[in-house]
Structure 1
């Protein structure tokens, strides 16, 4: 028996389904491609094309569940999230400049702001998901005492000593691990509340990434509200 199989036997958590992060990535790429922007269409489509090629390779490697991992697959998961995130930060800056200068059609700018914000939520969720505790494959295959230090603390990580119907689903009793839906949810709540809600950042990189997401969301929302008020007036 291989070391991976032996380690897998010590865990009861099931490998994560491929579909949630796959659908989220496709939606983020579609939003980015359709975004009204001064960035040339060729450059935007080049980003989308590179991400799609990496995504296809990852789907072929793990078509149904994220059960295995190699150096290239881990780099590709992180690379896709970074490609989308960095590209979207450039369009966020552009959108902020256009909002400040009151240039362009008002309705188009408001729609662009919504697209940038939505892409940001998905992209940050993907990056959190790809980085935390070694990534989605490590979280279910590596024995907990050998996992890299966690970037985030979820409620399930400390629910083992509560009432039985809650503690049965905790990390300690049920071997619960976060999936993309969990990272998407707290990325969404962080972007709306501008602060952690039920999930707390632990590492410096997690805090810096959440701070960047909160700051971008706050600036975008403030300028959108100001632009909307001016349009109404």
Structure 2
């Protein structure tokens, strides 16, 4: 009599959290490089504040999303909102230099613009990652939780092709959406569906446009 064949249950692949955490840490490190002419705040303030907000998130889910706590999303959204607010403050300082500052501070303007633009892209990528369909926990197939309605319409969600029917966006997808929105100043292949994502993408486009406009204005002055 043959022995019954043992069927091994498929392993659960948990959604990765470390790409988003690494992106936030990189942005906090960039805050140390902002020129003092633009940043009147203590240089250590933003990395310290961001580290305090990031610590419980990393402690709960260091590499993958395994433990869902109701207070985690508000903490993450607060962290991103603080980053965006401080980034807008840096942008205001950069515009002030262009209008009233030393005309020979071209290197300061270019360096500040680059840091502000990169921070803008990463911050809004994390923000979109956290709000789309109720957040990464609600979207993850390994968690028995009903997701909210979609905030973003990805191209993969509109095609009926083998291998894409159960596709779930990861952080890299939201980073790409944020990058293209900051570059084109409008949505490209992924469309915002809800009012909150339209507001977020609109604010990101405005910050990016103003940042690039300052550098362009400086270039015109040089010419």
Q: CA deviation at 1:197?
A: 0.6
The DSSP-based 3-state class of the residue aligned with 1:228 is helix
Partner residue of 1:169? 163
- 191, 215, 220: which one aligns with 2:211: 220
Partner residue of 1:4? none
Q: CA deviation at 1:76?
A: 1.6
The CA distance in 1 between the partners of 2:40 and 2:217, in whole Å, is 28
Partner residue of 2:198? 207
RMSD of aligned C-alpha atoms?
Answer: 2.1
- Mapped contact 2:39–2:93 kept (Cα < 8 A): no
Partner residue of 1:119? 119
The CA distance in 1 between the partners of 2:114 and 2:123, in whole Å, is 14
Partner residue of 2:172? 181
Q: CA deviation at 1:135?
A: 0.8
Deviations 1:158-211 (A, max 9, x none): 112xxxxxx2232xx2x2111111111110100001110111001111111111
- Mapped contact 1:152–1:201 kept (Cα < 8 A): yes
Partner residue of 1:6? none
Alignment of 1:125-136 (within 5 A): 125-136=125-136
The DSSP-based 3-state class of the residue aligned with 1:21 is helix
The DSSP-based 3-state class of the residue aligned with 1:71 is coil
TM-score, normalization by structure 1? 0.83
Partner residue of 2:71? 72
Larger fraction in helix: 1
Moved more, 91-100 or 80-89: 91-100
The CA distance in 2 between the partners of 1:60 and 1:208, in whole Å, is 31
TM-score, normalization by structure 2? 0.86
The verdict on how the C-alpha distance between 1:218 and 1:40 changes in structure 2, with shifts beyond 3 A counting, is closer
